[in-house]
């Protein structure tokens, strides 16, 4: 990867409700041009909020403002606070090899200090990573192998169990309902659903 590429810093603060039981970590936000809101999973084509709507409300459009291509950020934040779901990403600084959102061309410059996040949400005992890049980044300091999709590993050093979930990117080739099935099991395990 070209070392002269711009280093991007994470645009948002971690979203850490005090009652959080689960911390969901992506790799890094897409380029700003892809945002439909100033918050996590901002790309309207990403399946994350559609999947969450399907799981909890049986409606994949639950978090989309009717008649628009915009997410309803206030509804999203209220939902996350009510359910105790924290969000951030595995990296705080990256370089994009191709200028797009693909993890394949993402170079992690600075990994997130996950123990520092967990210290702010003491009820959290579950981490979910939304793809291979985030799983590898979180697990690298602990010399723990990345589990297969839908499986989990203990991270004794942090006192949590990490679940590797399918990517919510449209580029990941499984149907929305199949992704939702994986995440529904995760939320049951974390006692959210």
- The distance in angstroms from the start CA to the end CA of the chain is 41
Task: Name the more confident of 14 and 96.
Answer: 14
- The domain limits of the chain are 8-189
Side-chain-side CA neighbours of residue 118 (13 Å): 20
User: What pLDDT score was predicted for residue 1?
Assistant: 45
pLDDT classification of 11: cutoffs 50, 70, 90: very high
Binned at pLDDT 50, 70 and 90, residue 141 comes out as very high
Q: What is the pLDDT of residues 158-173, one digit of tens each?
A: 999 999 999 998 778 7
| Selected residue with higher pLDDT from 153 and 96 | 153
* Segment 12-32, tens digit of pLDDT: 999 999 999 999 999 999 988
Phi, psi of 160 (to 5 degrees): -135, 165
The dihedrals phi and psi of 177, each to the nearest 5 degrees, come to -65, -30
**For residue 180, how many C-alpha atoms fall within 13 Å in the half-sphere facing its CB?**
16
Let me know if domain 8-189 sits in CATH 3.40.470.10. Answer: yes
Distance, C-alpha 46 to centroid of its chain: 11
Per-residue pLDDT for 100 more than 60? no
pTM of the model: 0.93
């Amino acid at each position: 990867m070209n070392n002269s590429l711009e280093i991007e810093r994470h645009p948002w603060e971690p979203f850490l409700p005090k009652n959080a039981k689960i911390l969901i970590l992506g790799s890094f936000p897409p380029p700003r041009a892809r945002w439909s809101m100033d918050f996590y999973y901002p790309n309207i084509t990403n399946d994350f909020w559609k999947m969450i709507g399907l799981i909890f409300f049986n409606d994949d459009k639950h978090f989309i403002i009717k008649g628009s291509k915009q997410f309803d950020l206030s509804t999203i934040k209220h939902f996350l606070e009510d359910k105790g779901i924290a969000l951030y990403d595995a990296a705080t600084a990256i370089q994009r090899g191709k200028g797009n959102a693909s993890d394949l061309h993402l170079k992690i410059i600075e990994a997130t200090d996950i123990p520092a996040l967990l210290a702010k949400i003491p009820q959290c005992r579950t981490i979910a990573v939304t793809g291979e890049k985030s799983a590898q980044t979180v697990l690298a300091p602990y010399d723990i192998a990345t589990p297969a999709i839908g499986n989990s590993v203990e991270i004794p050093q942090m006192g949590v169990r990490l679940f590797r979930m399918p990517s919510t990117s449209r580029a990941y080739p499984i149907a929305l309902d199949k992704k939702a099935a994986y995440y529904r099991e995760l939320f049951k395990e974390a006692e959210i659903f």
